[in-house]
Amino acid sequence: MSTTYTYRIRNQMKRTCLELNTDEQNICEFHLDDNSFNEQPFDQKDIQHVKISVKMKNLICTLIACMALLSCETQSPSIPSILKENSRQLPEITKILFIGNSHTNRNDIPSTIQMMAALAGDSTYSHNETQPGYTLANHSVREATLKTIDSLEWDFVILQEQGGTQAIPNFMIDTAVYKYADILIDAIKRNNSHTKIILYMTHAYEEGVLSFNDTTWAKNEPLVSTYRGMQDRIRENNIAMAEWFNVEVSPAGVMWKIFTDSYPEVNLFNSDEIHPLPNGSYLLACAIYSSIYTKSPVGKFIPANVNKEEGVAMQNLVYQSLFKGKPDWKTY
């Protein structure tokens, strides 16, 4: 079996054992040692019987893992491409935790979302756990992040993986991303099982991975050495991850792609070719706002440092794609 799925098999096996109300340790990690025979003497037939029993338990363990993986691969819930408008039952005050890096806090996307919600009559409390260059792996062992997860019963947690990490090949994503996403998602669900988790799909970089001078990666994988190729990989990885963990995804990065195709004269990139200008951040905020509240961004708050005409165009574009499927972001 391919090592690509080693972590996912083991993790799904654990969850399957729990779902079957089975002692995972006894089924999946039964070991034979000398102490097993200290209670009373066994004859050779007894010992052989125990050895056969161990082999059977190990076989059951393997079968559970394979069945669980096949079940997940074939029955993972599909991520809808169209949002149903006003379909959320929102609390009196919506509590949102953002976990990520500069792609979240640049130009203060959370505050922009809070202002957009206020114009729709929705009260919001939000908190950021963002550090420059951070990955989900970094956050999974960061004490401040884990303490904040436990500090409130969050209604929504927005998880943002590092931009470059979102574009890594499938054979690497298992141990580089899923392992740590699982730690964070488990922590979130332990704190409040009703928390909605949304993956923030970021935008690709202007020159793909060459924007941060990774010439080796670009040489080995020419696909991600361009903006479009990198964005396609980010989209595919986020959809697969959302389906695997049964969480939601906000396709903010694809909104960026649609916008730049529709308005090629408008620049969204900072001079570093990685981070957004204020108008780029606003476009991303519109997408995340709609994903959280299932409300149209049209007519909502536009920051003073964003051209109003561009802001209105962004609102309409996000609404058409996320709520009408024009175009379908999952295939764009």
Tens digits of residue pLDDT in 84-97: 999 999 999 999 99
58 near 51, Cβ under 8 Å? no
Same domain, 69 and 130: no
Is there a domain that residue 330 lies in? no
Same domain, yes or no: 233 and 148: yes
Q: Is the pLDDT of residue 289 over 60?
A: yes
CATH of the domain at 312: 3.40.50.1110
* Same structural domain, 297 and 186: yes
Please identify, among 12, 43, 75, the residue that sits at the C-terminal boundary of a domain.
Answer: 75
Share of the chain above pLDDT 70, in %: 77
pTM: 0.80
Residue pLDDT, tens place only, 134-183: 999 999 999 999 999 999 999 999 999 999 999 999 899 999 999 999 99
Indicate whether 263 pLDDT > 90: yes
Whether the per-residue pLDDT at 236 is higher than 50: the answer is: yes
Are 186 and 44 found together in one domain?
no
What is the band of 78 on the pLDDT scale with cuts at 50, 70, 90? confident
| Average pLDDT taken over every residue of the chain | 85
Whether residue 233 has pLDDT greater than 90: yes
Residue 124 domain flag: yes
In this structure, are 36 and 110 located in the same domain?
no
Residue 86 lies in a domain: no
- Residues 154 and 191: beta-carbon distance below 8 Å: yes
The pLDDT tens digits of the residues spanning 296-320 come to 999 999 999 999 999 999 999 999 9
Q: Do residues 134 and 262 both lie within one domain?
A: yes
User: 12-16, 227-231, 313-317: which has the minimum mean pLDDT?
Assistant: 12-16
Domain that holds residue 178: 93-324
321 alpha carbon, distance to own chain's centre: 20
- The pLDDT value recorded for residue 24 is 35
Whether 247 maps to a domain, the answer reads yes
One domain, residues 279 and 155: yes
Q: Do 155 and 199 have their domain in common?
A: yes
**Predicted pLDDT of residue 66:** 46
User: Does 189 lie in the same domain as 136?
Assistant: yes
Q: Which of 47, 75, 103 is the last residue of a domain?
A: 75
Residues 285 and 138 in one domain: yes
Is 88 part of a structural domain of the chain?
no
DSSP letter for each residue of 49-106: HHHHHHHHHHHHHHHHHHHHHHHHHHHPPPPPSSPPTT-----SEEEEEEEESHHHHT
pLDDT at 59: 56
Are residues 33 and 181 located together in one domain of the fold?
no
How many domains does the chain contain in total?
2
Question: 187 and 275: one domain?
Answer: yes
